[in-house]
Structure 1
């Protein structure tokens, strides 16, 4: 790079465009490196847990990537699967597939209520 004080407007624009292109290239390389490193670290952590007989699900209680909301209590179940009582739904959020299927088969919400 030559002395920027002696450059013309066109030269400055060309240098700036080249610098921006190089910066984009460097940022992309950083993101790719971070992605590779995270995969490596995950593998190392899974191997360490595996030696002890655990999994990542054990470590995070089966809720990887989700943080509990402070003060939020789990809503009680209002609906139960007609055949598998272990499947319930609180009536909040997205309707589970089994609930949608039961309604499509002609059942009413009252039929599934607990």
Structure 2
């Protein structure tokens, strides 16, 4: 028996209503059990939520405060030179190979030939 799209959509809507009602009843039961446990053990909101009120106050204060000035960017020191071309260009061996290094390899040199002598 072929069902029409409208029939299926009506069934889906009915099932969704049933699911929503069931979830609502289950949620109410869970909330009641939680309230009972809170009362039984004397749990405070701070214990339960870990100081949420304090955090909310801090967020509100931070939102109304003037923006902080950014610290100047700190330039990271470069790596220790591992390869050199003898003309002052160096490479640490980390990251993309520089063009001078690729050109030297293409010209027949080896990576060992370009090592910085220590």
- Considering only CA atoms, is the larger Rg found in Structure 1 or Structure 2? 2
Same fold (TM over 0.5): no
- TM-score of the pair, normalised by structure 1: 0.40
